[in-house]
């Protein structure tokens, strides 16, 4: 009962926030990244559940076509960026080039390095264009990921979530950890910092994500009514987190 009430209160605050976004012409860009099974879909569903469809877009792009692979890397994402009054959520984003692509060999080492070099400048341009950027890394333990991936395969309602890459998530766990660490270290900037969310407890992760969004994006009269995120669940990335046990290994 506590979770449902807390979620409802936070969703009401999200509706109030979107009313402000539409009225003022603000632009919000929310990026969800994380390992397979970390809870991106569930968090996004709770965020968007009561928001206005015309002003809210959740973007989850398929693998690029041959034509898209020949384009500037960021080009296929640009068309989905928010206009005035929009809230846009990327369920995985250009950060594919910092995670799955290098780990699975879908890009070259040079392409990976160029991305890590260029993305802070790209995000600075977005911020200068009026977009508020929130970047969330959803972190999950290896044991919990294995349980959730097994659950997907066994649940007939989750078959559309099953991917050929699921098995690689566990097999290449250390490679994904290395790629994550490099991404967080190289692309967390004052303009677009990364925040880490522990997601082994799904419900607490969802509540804390919404609290963070409201504290980061909403005006003071809305954010001031919301409890701050629990730092044991959601915290700003800093390099000490790479070695002090706050990131799952």
Q: Where are the domains of the chain?
A: 2-242
User: The pTM is what?
Assistant: 0.96
Checking if the pLDDT of 167 tops 90, the result is no
CA distance linking residue 89 with residue 14, whole number of Å: 14
Report the share of the chain in percent with pLDDT over 90.
92
What 3-state DSSP class applies to 237?
A: coil
Confidence (pLDDT) at 8? 98
pLDDT at position 164? 76
- Superfamily for 2-242? P-loop containing nucleotide triphosphate hydrolases (3.40.50.300)
- How far is the C-alpha of 132 from the C-alpha of 222, rounded, in Å? 17
pLDDT at residue number 212 = 98
Per-residue pLDDT tens over the stretch 214-232: 999 999 999 999 999 999 9
155-161-164 Cα angle (round to 5): 110
Give the tens place of pLDDT for each residue, 30-78: 999 999 999 999 999 999 999 999 999 999 999 999 999 999 999 999 9
């Amino acid at each position: 009962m506590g979770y449902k009430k807390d979620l409802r209160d936070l969703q009401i605050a999200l509706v109030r926030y979107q009313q402000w976004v539409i009225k003022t012409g603000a632009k919000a860009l929310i990026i969800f990244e994380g390992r397979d099974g970390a809870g991106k879909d569930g968090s996004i569903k709770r965020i968007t559940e009561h928001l206005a469809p015309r002003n809210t877009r959740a973007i989850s792009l398929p693998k690029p076509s041959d034509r898209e692979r020949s384009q500037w890397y960021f080009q296929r994402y640009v068309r989905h960026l928010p206009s005035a009054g929009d809230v846009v959520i990327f369920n995985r984003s250009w950060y594919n080039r910092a995670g799955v692509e290098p780990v699975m060999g879908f890009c070259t080492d040079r392409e990976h390095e160029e991305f890590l070099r260029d993305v802070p400048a790209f995000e600075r341009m977005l911020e200068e264009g009026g977009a508020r950027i929130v970047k969330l890394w959803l972190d999950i333990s290896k044991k919990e990921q294995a349980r959730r991936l097994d659950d997907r395969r066994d649940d007939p309602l989750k078959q559309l979530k099953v991917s050929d890459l699921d098995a690689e998530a566990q097999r290449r766990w250390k490679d994904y950890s290395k790629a994550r660490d490099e991404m967080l270290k190289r692309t967390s900037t004052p303009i677009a910092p990364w925040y880490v969310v522990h997601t082994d407890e799904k419900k607490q992760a969802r509540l804390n994500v919404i609290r963070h969004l409201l504290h980061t994006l909403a005006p003071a009269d809305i954010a001031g009514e919301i409890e701050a995120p629990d730092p044991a669940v959601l915290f700003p990335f800093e390099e000490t987190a790479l070695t002090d046990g706050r990131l799952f290994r």
